Structure 1
Amino acid sequence: MAAYSRRQFVTGASAAFAAAALTLGDARYASAATRDRALALSAARAVQSAGTTLEQVATPSASGPYHRLAAGPGWPLVVRTDLVAGQSGRDDRRTGLACFVQFTDLHLADTESPARFEYLAQYADGAYRPQETLTVRGASSLVERVNSLSGGPYTGSPFSFVIATGDNADNHEQLELDWYLTVMSGGSITPNSGDLTRYEGVQNSGSTAYWNPESSLQDDYKTKAGYPQIPGFLTAAGRPFDAPGLHVPWYTTVGNHDDSIEGTLPDLGLLNSLYTGDRKLEGCDDADAAKLAAALQNDPAQALALFVKLLDNGPVRRVTPDARRVPFTPEQFAQAHLDPSYTGAGPVGHGFTASAASSGKLYYTFPVAPGVVGVSLDTTNRAGWADGSVGTAQLDWLESVLQANSTHWYDTDGNVVRGGSTDQLVVVFSHHTSSTMGNLLPDPYNLLEARHSGSEVVTLLQRYPNVVAWVNGHTHANQISPHPHAVAERAFWEVNTASHIDYPHHARVIEIADNGDGTLSLFTTLIESAAPYATDFSDTSDTGLAALYRELAYNDPYATPAQKLGASGDHNTELLLAKPGA
């Protein structure tokens, strides 16, 4: 864990438990007594904590190889003063300014699609996940959790909106996009494709390389990781269910899996017939798998050629064709959000406009709260690779937005520039993090435009004191990073949240508060889905499946739960920063 300038828990003038420390990995306190004191202090500062990880957290059993989950002690609040020191008594002076929820990396997956690389799981943990048939139910259970909460734990403010920061679909399919929009807005969903009366994917392939849940086959997941046999699992996973939809407005940010084939290969329209066709490659030998995995990391064009070659020579399963699997364009992505069927709690378009549907420009601004504006960026690069960047036109647009909402800023030489008459706090949203925006390949759809890295975006944001946070996903890990500056008001926080397909299946409540002393506080509180922690292998109800989704993900032998979980300072935090102009 990164060293903090001060690590303490504060309530009014008291800092009695400042010495409490968390260990890495499992985030447990050095002693139960210390943990309990810190939890009590966190609860005392909160307006409400029920239904959040301040109250309880999914905790694995010590036995293995397959670990059952149960409810464990919650995670206390960690005060981070990397950017500015906190002053005593701020709880009594605090005024809530904004409160919202971040979803990210839902990866709603059509697991029967021919355009998938499950056989690369040993090289890329996202290629195949044993829990992936349950992504839609898992996301709907997360929606249920948000609907059950009355507001933020530390300000008590109701949620203004939910924003999903990219990789909402897993493989760039129209069907997956439809599922995402229905999960968010509410309605009936059948999380199945092709022949809706049966499952046609690798989990009933008879290959020992995959978990075959309904079969007695002793596949690698059962023999090495202790996965159970669950009769009726695949049938239950694909049956229709009613998604409640969010009760609050919601917005969408685009991610690389929404934009590219498997989030990596450029979509040049060459594989549309494969997506919608009847040939599904279910495996290849280790040598070919290693070559393809390396190409996906280093040469998207070569990866595409290798994939087509393997399809002509490898073990191919015939599946039921489905035209709904066709990939969507950026224009179609925006247009789908404008469909009245998916308005739900609003707003119309969920950030996207008719102009976006015409131009394919998927970046926009929206109101977060009075005095606070949100900026949603498109950090995907249609040249391929998983990481991102932004084009010059978008970077220039971002600067124009910052200037329009700032009374003053700093030029590139550090001189103060006086600007507009309004000064709003700014929260930036994107899929990629600042450290995963080094993909500067030319955009094949705009070859003459330069691409810009995450470090360039950070430099720009630090010229505008009213930028308080950059909220993102992509890494599937909880990580909160300060972006300090010699001029205190030019610093901001970057808040990166874990995915909802890989364990720990988190979303994050974010509250912005004015402490009345020249500082602001950003409270970040992790939440889990509404599914119970305990599972029952004989329970294939919607609730039972949502619980299995979390537990199967924890036990994925190719995943790294401890790394993705993050450390104590990446969980429930109070992030202090200087108020601009104070």
Structure 2
Amino acid sequence: MGAISRRRFVTGASATVAGAALSLYGGGPASALDRALAATAARAVRIEGTTLEQAATATGTRGYRRLAAGPGWPLVVRDDLAAPKPGRDDRRTGLAGFVQFTDLHLVDTESPVRFEYLARFVDSAYRPHESLTVRGASSLVERVNSLAGGPWTGLPFSLVMATGDNTDNHERVELDWYLTVMSGGRLTPNTGDLRAYEGVQNSGNAAYWNPELAYRDAYKAKGFPQVPGFLTAAGSPFTAPGLRVPWYTTIGNHDDSIEGSLPDLGLLNALYTGDRKLEGCDDADAARLADALRHDPASAVSLLAGLLGKGDVRKVTPDARRHPFTPAEFAAAHLDPARTGAGPMGHGFTREAVSSGRLYYTFPIAPGVVGISLDTTNRAGFADGSLGTAQLRWLEGVLRQHSGHWYDTDGTVVRGTGDDALLVVFSHHTSGTMGNLLPDPYHPFEARHDGAALVSLLQRYPNVVAWVNGHTHANRIIPHGHPVPERAFWEVNTASHIDYPQHARIIEVADNGDGTLSLFTTLIESAARYATDFGDTSNAGLAALYRELSYNDPYATPAAKLGAPGDHNTELLLARPGR
């Protein structure tokens, strides 16, 4: 669909939406929030179904806290990189609108290669709600399907991009679940014995939430409920609707390595598909393994093998589907015609990617707007990432292809023959989490490059307007300024959909007709209702519980991951690149 002027949508709608916003958030004298929400609604094409309208809010002050619908979050105009000019709403032309998913972490909770017993040292090792990740992700898809388009330009979404950690432990079965959630179809989020649950949540170990058992484990002592039938319902078959718009995939470290940290050199394949699951160990052993995962992945493998001989080991049903996938298999799975869904075929990956293992590519977002998906994982291990020299050189070639001019390393202007498309870069890692410069064991003589090197490269190409990423599980928007205004760009980092606040983000690109661009970022939640019912284990009930349990996870840090108002619903101004 071509560019759309906001004027076509806003006439006659603003007053109605603004009135609805004030009614929704209370009557009486307008508070500062009321006024901000009214001003936001007056500028927007629509706010329904987004956090501009309402957002999950915790009730109570202590213990297990229930969630309810709270006031929306108003638009914050950020002028870090360019000044907003009056009248731009009436001049604005929408160029592109799309949605970012990130860090879905679809988890095979019954896998033998899980480190739940490290939760007191590694907060992501175990989450009480993780058996609901597949249903939670499907509910997020439902939310996107329900939206008519972007709240600021009115454009329908051209695509959804999932920026990595789509699986949790890069197992084939987790990849199958991800592809089914995105493209639609019947799936069963269970492994091993499909008639039973064989994981820590019915182990009787008091360190975990045992939802179906009445006894007081450590989570129930904090107010977590008993939910009869929870595990049976969580692992039962259901039909995922799949996205109605095209979707693409960027790879993350959890899609690439063992638990996102250990290099996958094939040493644990037998454990993945075997019948022994370690569910507990003493504090000293857990502390040693947790430290090794952070600082010495090679020793972590041997420590894990030793624990299987003396820890709390449970017999589980073997399942060949738990086998980890390779980068080539990751790409090939996306090319399965049964996974095409709303398209495109391969979701960014090609047959060449299968043969080469190179998982970076370009794709069209809208006319005149091009996406670049990077692979920032490092197969040497550790959670953080970097880029290899070959990929960095490829990226510079793509930037030149789409730039009519750029800046040399000494700051001089170089004239080119590019098409002057606006460029949006996608990756899993952020500029601050790309310090892992260990040699890639599959390309040991290739240099690695950090986030600062990538920022420096992107700032040489004025057509780069945004770098969109995940990994941190937090909302944060970073301006990358430059003395030459057209060399600045925005970095948009979005929270995960496994840890609270479980967000995704709408991003819209608009030309203000005054020498500036606006990037609008709007957070969305899943379609799940806010109120939970511990007796409701339907799909809708479980999706609601997924959000509420994530807020109450005792190892979580909701406030830190939520971000500040300037990281939520924003208008990000920047200079339009010269021609």
Answer yes or no: same fold by TM over 0.5: yes
Question: Hey, what's the Cα distance between the residues in 2 that align with 1:499 and 1:32?
Answer: 34
The one-letter amino acid of 1:337's match is H
Equivalent of 1:574 in 552, 558, 571: 571
Q: What does the per-residue CA deviation read over 1:228-262, in whole Å, with 9 as the maximum and x for residues that have no partner?
A: 00010000000000000000000000000000000
Task: Normalising by structure 1, report the TM-score.
Answer: 0.94
Equivalent of 1:86 in 84, 87, 90: 84
Q: What does the per-residue CA deviation read over 1:65-84, in whole Å, with 9 as the maximum and x for residues that have no partner?
A: 00000000000000000001
Q: What does the per-residue CA deviation read over 1:511-546, in whole Å, with 9 as the maximum and x for residues that have no partner?
A: 000000000000000000000000000000000000
Equivalent of 2:314 in 294, 307, 317: 317
Question: Hey, what's the Cα distance between the residues in 2 that align with 1:311 and 1:357?
Answer: 35
Structure 1 residue 267 and structure 2 residue 264: aligned? yes
Equivalent of 1:407 in 404, 408, 416: 404
- Which residue matches 1:502? 499
Question: Hey, what's the Cα distance between the residues in 1 that align with 2:359 and 2:185?
Answer: 25
Structure 1 residue 371 and structure 2 residue 355: aligned? no
- Which residue matches 2:104? 106
Query: SS at 2:231's partner residue?
Result: helix
Query: SS at 1:525's partner residue?
Result: strand
Following superposition of structure 1 onto structure 2, how do residues 335-414 of structure 1 map, counting pairs within 5 Å? 335-414=332-411
Question: Hey, what's the Cα distance between the residues in 2 that align with 1:487 and 1:307?
Answer: 52
Question: Hey, what's the Cα distance between the residues in 1 that align with 2:235 and 2:254?
Answer: 22
- Which residue matches 1:151? 149
Question: Hey, what's the Cα distance between the residues in 2 that align with 1:292 and 1:316?
Answer: 16
The one-letter amino acid of 2:366's match is A
Question: Hey, what's the Cα distance between the residues in 2 that align with 1:420 and 1:382?
Answer: 36
Question: Hey, what's the Cα distance between the residues in 2 that align with 1:454 and 1:440?
Answer: 10
Shift in Å, 1:63: 3.5
Unaligned 5+ residue runs, structure 2? Answer: 1-9, 12-28
Query: SS at 1:220's partner residue?
Result: coil
Query: SS at 1:336's partner residue?
Result: helix
Query: SS at 1:126's partner residue?
Result: coil
Shift in Å, 1:312: 1.9
Shift in Å, 1:143: 0.1
Structure 1 residue 296 and structure 2 residue 316: aligned? no
Shift in Å, 1:457: 0.2
Question: Hey, what's the Cα distance between the residues in 2 that align with 1:94 and 1:124?
Answer: 46
- Which residue matches 1:447? 444
Question: Hey, what's the Cα distance between the residues in 2 that align with 1:81 and 1:522?
Answer: 11
Question: Hey, what's the Cα distance between the residues in 2 that align with 1:573 and 1:226?
Answer: 36
Question: Hey, what's the Cα distance between the residues in 2 that align with 1:548 and 1:216?
Answer: 18
Query: SS at 1:183's partner residue?
Result: helix
Unaligned 5+ residue runs, structure 1? Answer: 1-10, 13-30
Following superposition of structure 1 onto structure 2, how do residues 91-490 of structure 1 map, counting pairs within 5 Å? 91-223=89-221, 225-490=222-487
Question: Hey, what's the Cα distance between the residues in 2 that align with 1:283 and 1:390?
Answer: 36
Shift in Å, 1:62: 2.1
Question: Hey, what's the Cα distance between the residues in 1 that align with 2:334 and 2:432?
Answer: 29
Q: What does the per-residue CA deviation read over 1:183-218, in whole Å, with 9 as the maximum and x for residues that have no partner?
A: 000000100000000000000000000000000121
Question: How many residues get paired?
Answer: 553
Shift in Å, 1:32: 7.0
Pick closer, same or farther for the CA change 1:32–1:304 going to 2, 3 Å. farther
The one-letter amino acid of 1:149's match is L
Note the aligned Cα RMSD (angstroms): 1.1
Shift in Å, 1:64: 2.7
Q: Which runs of 4+ in 1 moved over 3 A?
A: none
The one-letter amino acid of 1:121's match is A
Equivalent of 2:46 in 42, 45, 48: 48
Following superposition of structure 1 onto structure 2, how do residues 41-80 of structure 1 map, counting pairs within 5 Å? 41-80=39-78
Question: Hey, what's the Cα distance between the residues in 2 that align with 1:373 and 1:162?
Answer: 14
- Which residue matches 2:16? none
Query: SS at 1:213's partner residue?
Result: coil
Query: SS at 1:324's partner residue?
Result: helix
Pick closer, same or farther for the CA change 1:421–1:121 going to 2, 3 Å. closer
Query: SS at 1:485's partner residue?
Result: coil
Query: SS at 1:282's partner residue?
Result: strand
Query: SS at 2:153's partner residue?
Result: coil
Query: SS at 2:114's partner residue?
Result: coil
Task: Normalising by structure 2, report the TM-score.
Answer: 0.95
Does the aligned pair in 1 maintain the 2:405–2:418 contact within 8 Å? Answer: no
Structure 1 residue 521 and structure 2 residue 506: aligned? no
Question: Hey, what's the Cα distance between the residues in 1 that align with 2:62 and 2:185?
Answer: 39
Does the aligned pair in 1 maintain the 2:465–2:489 contact within 8 Å? Answer: yes
The one-letter amino acid of 1:487's match is V
The one-letter amino acid of 1:290's match is A
Shift in Å, 1:421: 4.1
Q: Judge which range, 491-500 or 296-305, deviates more.
A: 296-305
Shift in Å, 1:307: 1.0
Does the aligned pair in 1 maintain the 2:400–2:418 contact within 8 Å? Answer: no
Question: Hey, what's the Cα distance between the residues in 1 that align with 2:336 and 2:400?
Answer: 33
Query: SS at 2:309's partner residue?
Result: helix
